[in-house]
Structure 1
Amino acid sequence: MNMQDQQTTLQHSGVNEAEVSKLFRNTYALLAMTLAFSSIVAMVSMALNLPRPNIIIMLVGFYGLLFLTSKFRDSGWGLVLTFVFTGFLGYTTGPILNAYLSLPNGGSLVAMALGMTAMVFLGLSAYAILTRKDFSFLSGFIMAGFVVLLCAVVASIFLDISGLSLAISAGFVLFSSAIILYQTSSIIHGGEDNYIMATITLFVSIYNIFLSLLHILGVVGDD
């Protein structure tokens, strides 16, 4: 490789590093804002004692807003829809938190689930960033995990199997943890170049981990 090729390679690497750094800043800044906004919406939902939406509203709201956010991800509307989507999830979380807080040790359960969720997210993100490993090999596991969890959730609606809900929650923790590693690695290695979609992916993973851990802790505590 001659001197000119080396300079070109270094310049290209510098641009890539700058782009990755910008994508990280935008993603984590938006993630922090959406987490704060979703928390505020959840607290309002709790204060108003709003009812938990039924499964139809949940599915339509979740996948409808997710589709719209993805469709408009390259425009300003994508940013607006990101807050609408995360706010909707915050609203659905409020009634769940009220149910747990009504338990004798509900406050400690919620605090423990929050703490464990933060530790899982920060630990996995730091590991992926510091090691800079390529976790693209997890794509197969994620796809298989999605299919298995979907089948398990459908089965839980029609079958009363002892321990199935606990297994589903544990599965969601592992599934969402894999997605955090995969998404963070994807940002580093150029597999993801849109900070809105990166934020949505990480937010949903955090949401799933928190609710799953809350359920597991409640079952273990006989609540």
Structure 2
Amino acid sequence: MQEHNTTLQHAGVSEAEVSKLFRNTYSLLALTLAFSAIVAFVSMSLNLPYPGIIITLVGFYGLLFLTTKLRNSGWGLVSTFAFTGFLGYSLGPILNAYLSLPNGGQLVAMALGMTALVFFGLSAYAILSRKDFSFLSGFIMAGCIVLMCAVVASFFIQMSGLQLAISAGFVLFSSAVILYQTSAIIHGGEDNYIMATITLFVSIYNLFLSLLQLLGIFSDD
């Protein structure tokens, strides 16, 4: 009887920790999405130029590395907002370019709506089904390598078909990461809400940009 009670007690603590991790992750995710949107709006309003591929890569990986190192301290929150704010700034010029198209506003609105639908749909499925999607780790690793090689190749090979394949690949990759990360929170594979937030944020960011590019390609823009 005592062993049974102890097991239930441990299960209760585990469930409480998962609930706390969910609350912290999605609260921070909502705040970072709002902050990034505000920065993107300011970047658009001031018509700031795109930082360029070198600055973008250095800023992205530099701030990502910093956030990873500081994830267990209060400074991790500061670097998280710096990271998501930087991505918001880089998004501004891209949105301005699309909004300058004849049907740009419609494309941006459709991409935003589809991104929200995919994210909430996949998250709800992972949460409600309680399935373990840890088996996607191999696919995610392979997909990351393939997409990185394809992106590098796109710098030297200007083909609309390649851009289409890359965008479609990022949609599948981001969707897999959302399922994997949500499942990891549920099943104890992730115990740090800052890293969970960063992973989901980047997935949403890539998903939105990829859907926007796909819509632009299919609309001949």
Give me the TM-score of the superposition, normalised by structure 1: 0.98
Distance (whole Å) between structure 2 residues aligned to residue 32 and residue 131 of structure 1: 23
**Equivalent residue of 1:163, what SS?**
helix
Aligned residue among 66, 69, 89 for 1:68 = 66
Distance (whole Å) between structure 2 residues aligned to residue 176 and residue 66 of structure 1: 17
Aligned residue among 154, 174, 177 for 2:175 = 177
Measured after TM superposition, the shift of residue 159 of structure 1 is 1.4
Distance (whole Å) between structure 1 residues aligned to residue 170 and residue 10 of structure 2: 39
Deviation sequence 1:16-67 (CA, Å, 0-9, x none) = 0000000000000000000000000000000000000111000000000000
Partner of 1:82: 80
Distance (whole Å) between structure 2 residues aligned to residue 131 and residue 165 of structure 1: 34
Measured after TM superposition, the shift of residue 81 of structure 1 is 0.5
Measured after TM superposition, the shift of residue 154 of structure 1 is 0.8
Partner of 2:125: 127
Distance (whole Å) between structure 1 residues aligned to residue 41 and residue 108 of structure 2: 13
Measured after TM superposition, the shift of residue 74 of structure 1 is 0.4
Distance (whole Å) between structure 2 residues aligned to residue 158 and residue 98 of structure 1: 25
Aligned residue among 184, 187, 190 for 1:186 = 184
Deviation sequence 1:145-195 (CA, Å, 0-9, x none) = 001101111111111234100110000000010000000000000010000
Partner of 1:150: 148
CA RMSD of aligned residues (A): 0.5
Read off the aligned partner of 2:20 and give its amino acid letter: K
Give me the TM-score of the superposition, normalised by structure 2: 0.99
Read off the aligned partner of 2:35 and give its amino acid letter: F
**Equivalent residue of 1:173, what SS?**
helix
Partner of 1:36: 34
Read off the aligned partner of 1:123 and give its amino acid letter: G
Moved over 2 A (4+): none
Distance (whole Å) between structure 1 residues aligned to residue 156 and residue 95 of structure 2: 25
Partner of 1:212: 210
Distance (whole Å) between structure 2 residues aligned to residue 161 and residue 108 of structure 1: 25
Aligned residue among 181, 201, 210 for 1:203 = 201
Q: Percent identity?
A: 82
List aligned pairs for 1:38-53, cutoff 5 A. Answer: 38-53=36-51
Partner of 1:115: 113
Distance (whole Å) between structure 2 residues aligned to residue 213 and residue 49 of structure 1: 23
Query: How many pairs does the alignment contain?
Result: 221
Unmatched runs of 5 consecutive residues or more in structure 2? none
